[in-house]
Amino acid sequence: MTLELDQLACGYGRQPVLTGVDLTVDGGELVCLLGPNGSGKTALLKTLAGLLAPLGGQVRIDGRAWADWPARERARLLAYVPQAHAPVFAFKVRDVVVMGRTAQWPLWSGPTPRDWRAAEAALSLVQMDAFADRLYTEISGGERQMTMIARALAQEARFLALDEPASSLDFGNQARMLQTLRRLVKSGIGVLMATHHPEHALRCASRVAIMRDGRLQRAGPPEEIVTAASLESVYRVPFVVSELPCDQPKPIRVCVAQLD
């Protein structure tokens, strides 16, 4: 299964923030979106999730235009994790996660035992089992983000669209999330992830797409795209990209911004 973006233009209202995006994401592939604040990453992911209407071009899954898929089918194909979520009511974490299964049951019905098991399994996958009965409003921002990721996993979609999923996570949770994503990708899921961590792209991505000035500038393998020069051109500060000595088959590269 392939997610195709064909000359896609997206933005808020009638004002495009991003135009002419050509990109494909295959099942079993993780594509990272890198770009400065305001470069249109969120608008792109929201357009994929059906929350913004495309302002031009097309999104297709398996050759069929995204707009032609019914909303419930879309939710079964693509799960979206927002950048932040401000809850109003004190739902239990378990209830929030099981809502990821909404597209699996009829409108007038509710979760079946299978749905509860899937929610439990998703929580277990991100090691949030102990939080299942906690109130969503009373956990930390990072735990809330892990809950959102668990909800997307419970959705059992073929593609995941993640908007800066590591922005509130501590080091340990970042590593666990990346590990989980790797395993999901190995199982055939396609992931499109916006991130402000070039190292995450280097560790996990199959491909990296760089966005700037309202365009998708370059896309390719992380080793080719994530270089000191390209990072400097994106973020407008000097970078050092260096390989760490380690006993792993693939060298580990780190990116550090240079300070005066």
Q: Which is nearer to another protein, 50 or 238 (CB)?
A: 50
By the rule CB under 8 A, 53 interacts with another protein: no
**Checking DSSP bridges between strand 190-195 and strand 159-163, what pairing results, if any?**
parallel
Question: Nearest approach, Cβ of 104 to another protein (angstroms)?
Answer: 9
Q: Which stretch binds another protein (CB under 8 A): 30-38, 180-188, 201-209, 249-257?
A: 180-188
Q: Chain centroid to CA 234: how far?
A: 20
Nearest residue to 197 via CA among 213, 215, 181: 181
By the rule CB under 8 A, 82 interacts with another protein: yes
Question: Nearest approach, Cβ of 176 to another protein (angstroms)?
Answer: 13
By the rule CB under 8 A, 92 interacts with another protein: yes
Whether 257 contacts 235, CB under 8 Å: yes
* DSSP per-residue string spanning 105-154: S-TT----HHHHHHHHHHHHHTT-GGGTTSBGGGS-HHHHHHHHHHHHHH
**Rg over CA atoms, the chain:** 18
Q: Which stretch binds another protein (CB under 8 A): 87-95, 203-211, 217-225, 227-235?
A: 87-95
List the one residue from 24, 26, 83, 105 that touches another protein (CB under 8 A): 105
Nearest residue to 22 via CA among 59, 47, 53, 48: 59
Length of the chain: 260
**Checking DSSP bridges between strand 64-65 and strand 56-61, what pairing results, if any?**
antiparallel
CA angle 104, 42, 163 (to 5 degrees): 60
Question: Nearest approach, Cβ of 230 to another protein (angstroms)?
Answer: 31
Q: Which stretch binds another protein (CB under 8 A): 35-43, 54-62, 104-112, 220-228?
A: 104-112
By the rule CB under 8 A, 74 interacts with another protein: yes
Q: Which is nearer to another protein, 82 or 198 (CB)?
A: 82
* Paired residues of 56 in beta bridges: 9
List the one residue from 63, 113, 245, 249 that touches another protein (CB under 8 A): 113
Q: Using CB under 8 A, which residues numbered 226 to 245 contact another protein?
A: none
Q: Which residues bind another protein (CB under 8 A)?
A: 46, 49-51, 71-76, 79-80, 82, 85-92, 94-96, 99-100, 102-103, 105, 107-111, 113, 116-122, 124-125, 132-133, 135, 137-138, 153-156, 180, 183-184, 186-189
